[in-house]
Amino acid sequence: GFSDLAVKIKELLLKGSPVGIDKSVLFWMLSYFLHLAASVNLSFNHISPILSSDFVTFLIFECVNACENMELHFNSNDVVKKYLSVHLNLIVTAFKEIMSTIDLYFRKSCSQKDKMLFNELYGRLSSMQCFRQIPLLLFQICSKYNSKQFLEDVTILNHHTMIAIDRGSSYSSQHKKIKMVSHLQQFATKNIVECCRKVLENFKFNSHFLNECVFTLLHHIAGDLHSSHLLIEPSLLKVFSEILKEDIELDQYQEDLIMYILTKFSREVQTKFIKEQQIKKGGSKLSDDSSINSSVSSHCLLIEEDDDLFWWYLQFEQDKDPVSRISEHLPTSKQDILSKLQIKGFVSVEKLKLLKEKMKAAQDSKLEAIPN
């Protein structure tokens, strides 16, 4: 009954029916009943009409329209702005619940028929540019309107859209396939990082999933996009430090990211200090300046290499053979990797011994697998 009612209301709204229907009622219905459906484990067949690309595109249209209205009425009185912001909040919440429910039922799907339906749905969604871009628009709105709940909803919605794009990339039509890294590149901005920082300020009180959404995005920015410099902002570094001080239980990749960024920051401070010392000693002669620049450039290059080594070590620390995995990404020998890890102080003597044992065990396993 709920699905049929929601579909009928949507159709009436699209037709511009003279019946006085407030769109907010539909958005509230979607948010409330989808959350309820997931809680009571309702059969997918009962809500499948809502978990569709048609409903998603409808919500995207409403999102864009609401964002435009907020921009147009930016200088309006508080009553108008409040109404528009609440309206947009309802749309985003409904959108978030639809994507969350799609994800939930995708993971629960058992029959081949259901899996095919979800694969087709993800394929259609990932091929839609408006679907891929809507989180970027919403993050821009977040930077202008100070609403904690709205920012959290957008962050979760973005996480679900990322998942949908990743899953659907294999099922979208050939000419509409996208590279995930190319899509992620759009999120490597100071504004997005600032939004993440605002959410993490409440890390201790956030849900585990919300924190996961933020750290996953930051991990993409620092790792896949090689834009870790964007995370070296005083306000974010302060948040990272406070998280560590609170002694809160973190997922391994979250702790790794924090340690990597803080280590990178300390190395940059060290590089800056060395440069300042070189300048003081070098005087103002041109030849000295060239020598200083050469020395600092060499040092920066070494620092960058160390950062890469530390990053990949953190990514594969829990692997069966971390050193071999690191060597796949760095143009150097395994023995050189082991030496640098110890010399740079990235690992203790005990950890180094364990890495060697893992590497030897992996090599022995490969030899045993070779037929006589």
pLDDT of residue 179: 81
Contacting residues for 216 by C-beta, under 8 A, at least 6 apart:
159, 162
pTM, two decimal places: 0.78
The whole-angstrom separation of Cα 341 and Cα 193 is 30
The whole-angstrom separation of Cα 47 and Cα 30 is 10
The whole-angstrom separation of Cα 284 and Cα 356 is 49
The whole-angstrom separation of Cα 240 and Cα 266 is 13
The per-residue pLDDT string of the chain (372 residues; one tens digit each, 9 = 90 and over) reads 678 888 888 888 888 765 567 788 899 989 988 988 888 888 888 888 899 999 999 999 999 999 999 888 878 888 888 888 999 999 999 999 999 999 999 988 778 888 888 999 999 999 999 999 999 999 999 888 778 999 999 999 999 999 999 998 877 665 566 788 889 999 999 999 999 999 999 999 999 999 999 999 999 999 888 899 999 999 999 999 999 888 788 898 898 899 889 888 887 777 676 666 667 766 544 445 555 454 444 444 445 566 677 777 777 777 888 888 888 877 788 888 888 777 777 778 888 888 888 888 888 777 776 665
Identify the three-state secondary structure at position 3.
helix
Question: What distance separates the 2 farthest-apart alpha carbons in the chain?
Answer: 83
